[in-house]
Amino acid sequence: MNTRQIGVVFRKEFIDTLRDRRTLITSILLPILLFPVMILGFIGLAILVAGRAVRENPEVMVLGAEHAPEVAKRLREHEDLKVVSPSADYARLINDKKLRAAVEFPPGFEENLRSNPDQTQVVKIYWFEGEFRSRRVVRNVERVIREFSDKVVTKRLSARGLSDKWLTPFTAERANVAPPEKVSGNILGFMLPYFIIVLCLTGAMYPAMDLTAGEKERGTMETILASPVRRLELVLGKFLLVLLTSATTTALSVISFALTFLAGTQLFSEITARFALTVSGKATAAVFFLVLPLAIFFSAALMAISVFARNYREAQTYLGPLMLLVILPATASFIPGIELNTRLALIPILNVSLMAKEVLGGTYNWPLIGLIFASTCVYAGAALYLAVRQFHREEVLFRT
């Protein structure tokens, strides 16, 4: 194996790649802009929309107000509620989002509270489940009803010479023992591994297709094969370029996320202060270390598949299902309760996703990390061997 020849192929492909605008966008521009747009833009938009919803005058309809005059008065006096006139088509108004909620009191509600204290009554609250503004109105309505209920209970206990403290014999307090980096890492571990793995794949996809199927489509594959470079050296030179773009995309993604995260904690300090969000440089480096052999695996596998295609469009058709095969195990970090074990550590992509989640949470299981790194290297070696074999098959290289 001539390393000089590999270097010549690599430099040639590197120069050509710098001229490819599509590869530069997916490998450099996309990972730099993705996290700022996604995180800062989404949080800013969410704050804007939530602020508008809070400033709205939410409307609630009281049905049977004559049966609960005191509660109805409390609802009318609530600063965050606007009580409207009752109507029989309240359900349609709620579904049309012209009304946020409706509360219905049974006949003789307050009278039964005084005369029949042993009877349990039901107050119905009609709302649009899952709708933000409707949920906010219901929360305020429930607070008013709960305060009135507490008042009724206090009166009943006082009439019997008892204190309302009898209702709360003890209280329970939560005490967090996890350090801030583990708390924030556990939160970030749900989404970050997925995006890094997907970006690692997309960073290698376009150069892999261009250096194989693209060469066939342009008619330059024969010229390259006629050069005094062995097939192994040719594959390794192209592979190193694909690996470089994938690793660059991954590194830029990690750096972009870290900088976006730090900027976000400053811009939205009121929100992030509640969660004590921090990002660990050690965890970030460990995640990149875990994804690196995965980048090798992606680069070699994409080349082996793309070289089988006749042209660029056919290569895209082949790699479309591959995206689904990568996305499904990469989403393992979203599944709550799933934990990494020795068996899962041998499943490619899934193992990296789960281990990245553990590492971001501050857990470093070195035996499993070593097993994942070694197994991913084995898969990467097998994929690279397959790519080399594909370049030695004339029926594949000159497939028409």
Q: Which amino acid is at 163?
A: S
End-to-end Cα spacing for the chain: 30
pLDDT given for residue 269 in this prediction? 58
Q: How confident is the model at residue 320 (pLDDT cuts 50, 70, 90)?
A: confident
pLDDT at residue 146 greater than cutoff 90? yes
Give the DSSP letter of residue 178: S
For 272-312, the pLDDT digits (tens) are 555 555 666 777 778 888 888 889 999 999 998 888 888 88
Which pair of tokens denotes residue 90? 């309240």
pTM assigned to the model: 0.69
DSSP-assigned letters across all residues of 43-79: HHHHHHHHHHHHHS--EEEEESGGG-HHHHHHHHH-T
φ/ψ of residue 83, rounded to 5: -85, 130
Percent of the chain with pLDDT over 90: 19
Mean pLDDT of the chain: 82
pLDDT at residue 164 greater than cutoff 70? yes
User: What fold is seen in the domain 57-167?
Assistant: abc type-2 transporter like fold (3.40.1710)
pLDDT given for residue 55 in this prediction? 58
For 119-130, the pLDDT digits (tens) are 889 999 999 998
For 347-375, the pLDDT digits (tens) are 888 888 888 888 877 778 888 888 998 99
3-state secondary structure of 35: helix
pLDDT at residue 49 greater than cutoff 80? no
pLDDT given for residue 8 in this prediction? 82
Distance CA 294, CA 102 (A): 54
Distance CA 237, CA 11 (A): 8
pLDDT given for residue 34 in this prediction? 74
pLDDT given for residue 84 in this prediction? 92
135 vs 396, which has greater pLDDT? 135
pLDDT given for residue 107 in this prediction? 93
Please, are residues 133 and 100 in contact by the beta-carbon 8 Å criterion? yes
pLDDT given for residue 46 in this prediction? 65
Domain with CATH 3.40.1710.10 in the chain: 57-167
For residue 60, list its beta bridge partners. Answer: 83, 101
Mean pLDDT of 249-276: 69
Q: What is the dihedral of CA 202, 203, 206, 208, to 10 degrees?
A: -110
pLDDT given for residue 50 in this prediction? 60
For 196-238, the pLDDT digits (tens) are 888 888 888 888 888 888 888 887 777 777 777 888 888 889 9
pLDDT at residue 54 greater than cutoff 60? no
Compute the half-sphere exposure of residue 117: CA atoms within 13 Å on the CB side of its CA. Answer: 10
pLDDT given for residue 64 in this prediction? 92
Mean pLDDT of 19-36: 76
pLDDT given for residue 212 in this prediction? 86
pLDDT given for residue 71 in this prediction? 93
pLDDT at residue 399 greater than cutoff 70? no
pLDDT given for residue 28 in this prediction? 78
Cβ-defined contacts of 332-338 (< 8 Å, 24+): 332/357, 333/189, 333/190, 333/191, 333/192, 333/193, 333/194, 333/357, 334/190, 334/191, 334/194
pLDDT given for residue 260 in this prediction? 77
